[in-house]
Structure 1
Amino acid sequence: MRDSDLAERICLLAKSLFDRGLTCGASGNISARTSDGGLLVTPTGSSMGFLDPARLARFDEDGRHVGGDQPTKEMPLHKAFYATREAGAVVHLHSTHSVALSMLPDVDADDMLPPLTPYSVMRLGAVKLLPYIRPGDPKMGDAVRDLDGAHAAVVLANHGPVVSAGTLEDAVYAMEELEETAKLALLTRGLGPRGLTEEQVAELREVFGEPK
């Protein structure tokens, strides 16, 4: 895909996420690999509902900023995923239900989403809950690197989810699945919902594998 087409696609999907309330204000960011190994990244302080493709930050394959506006201050998160996984895109949002779930005291930090639907297992795998780290602090990237590529998705406590995938579309779809599953978890909390059994989860992982 040409860089110009990828930039248009990033802005289109970002606006879709914004318009549906999955992120608000000037929160959230997206990055995606270009055909030459570089990156296109949403700018710092920008609203995902009003992005200009021509102003996306551009990085070359050596990680140098070579064009566009200054990138999101949360580049350490993005760089950590690209360094530890075969990622084609990374999406980070401040989506309400995921953040709310991250603040509850009895959430399993190693797998914070209960297996309520098959698609959360298929698209996300085990979602790691990371402790609160100040936005923009390089320690966010360190925390992801320490996972050594074991998780396609993490949630930063009191902050928001970050998802990587092989393509831009897959990263967006996985992010949507994470937020919807967090919503289901909150809606059914304390009601004893019938989730998937361990055997059903194992079958899904055997048939579909771990998220790319």
Structure 2
Amino acid sequence: MRTEHAAREAICRLGQSLFRRGLTYGSSGNISVRLDDGWLMTPTNVSLDELDPARLSRLDADGQLVSGDPPTKESFLHRAMYGERPGDGAVVHLHSTHAVAVSVLEGVDPADVLPPITAYYVMRVGRLPLVPYYPPGDRTLADAVAALAGRHHAVLLANHGPVVSGTSLSAAAAAIEELEETARLHLLLRGERVRLLTGAQVAALRPPAG
């Protein structure tokens, strides 16, 4: 496992990269990394472009703030993912434009919101369930996320945005970026005749169950 110092630096680099590429804006979005005895999280009301490694929120194993600024108000989403995915080491949550746009569309399949447009989407994201809308700060949203997180490392919050966990920070980042790009492609292709990956092609890309 990377050192805490390296994790702090990596979180800040990723935050700046996401912001400068237009994948988040204002003070939206949050990032966390699992440590041996707790978590590092981005603070509340801070732009991901302006993160200070020394001021990241350091939480203990019970989720209590140990040092740094107060954590993101959506820290409960991160902990819900970690609680169901003990092998994962990072979580990224964005309000990225195209994924949010897809999250408000009528008629999507709530069990799998985006179609299998590319092989990389299938491999990095897999199935993407839609979590029903909850108002900001509603802690019952954590229960809804936890109910899906054991089977899915990526979920889309209705009228809100994606939450993605990964075995590492780079894996979580790659998956959420692939998700956003696939959402963009999906919106570009709406109304067009498309050739999606077949069921057999998708099955060949996904790891065996269990």
Q: Above 0.5 in TM-score?
A: yes
Aligned pairs for 1:125-204 (under 5 A) are 125-147=126-148, 149-204=150-205
Code of the aligned partner of 2:68: G
Whole-angstrom CA distance in 2 between matches of 1:89 and 1:136: 21
Matched, 1:76 2:61: no
Q: Provide the C-alpha distance between the structure 2 equivalents of 1:109 and 1:150, rounded to a whole number of angstroms.
A: 14
Structure 1: segments with no counterpart, 5+ residues? none
Partner deviation per Cα, 1:121-173 (whole Å, 9 max, x = no partner): 11111101111111221111110112251111011111111000110010001
2:64 maps to 64
Structure 1 residues 43, 148: closer, same or farther in 2, change over 3 A? closer
Between 20-29 and 52-61, the greater mean CA deviation after superposition: 52-61
* Residue 205 (structure 1) shift: 1.0
Whole-Å separation in 2 of the counterparts to 1:196 and 1:37: 42
Determine the structure 2 residue equivalent to 1:51. Answer: 51
After superposition, give the CA deviation of every residue in 1:16-71 in whole Å (9 maximum; x if it has no partner).
0000000100000000012x232000001110011001110001234321110000
Residues 81 and 149, structure 2, Cα contact 8 Å, conserved in 1: no
Contact 1:38/1:62, CA 8 A, preserved across alignment: yes
Task: State the one-letter code of the partner of 1:42.
Answer: T
Cα distance between partner residues in 1 of 2:172 and 2:132? 22
Q: Which amino acid aligns with 2:40?
A: L
Q: Which amino acid aligns with 2:115?
A: P
**TM-score computed with the length of structure 2 as normaliser:** 0.95
Amino-acid identity (%): 57
Report the secondary structure of 2:164's partner residue. strand
Change in CA separation of 1:20 and 1:148 when aligned onto 2, cut-off 3 Å: closer
Residue 125 of structure 2 is matched in structure 1 by: 124
Query: What is the distance in 2 between the residues matched to 1:136 and 1:170?
Result: 27
Unmatched 5+ residue regions in structure 2? Answer: none
Q: How does 1:86-125 map to 2 (within 5 A)?
A: 86-125=87-126
Q: Verify the 8 A CA contact 1:76 1:136 in the aligned structure 2.
A: no
RMSD between superposed Cα atoms in Å? 1.2
Once residues 148 and 203 of structure 1 are traced to their aligned partners in structure 2, the CA distance between those partners, rounded to angstroms, is: 23
Other-structure match for 1:4: 5
Rounded Cα–Cα distance in structure 2 between residues aligned with 1:146 and 1:10: 27
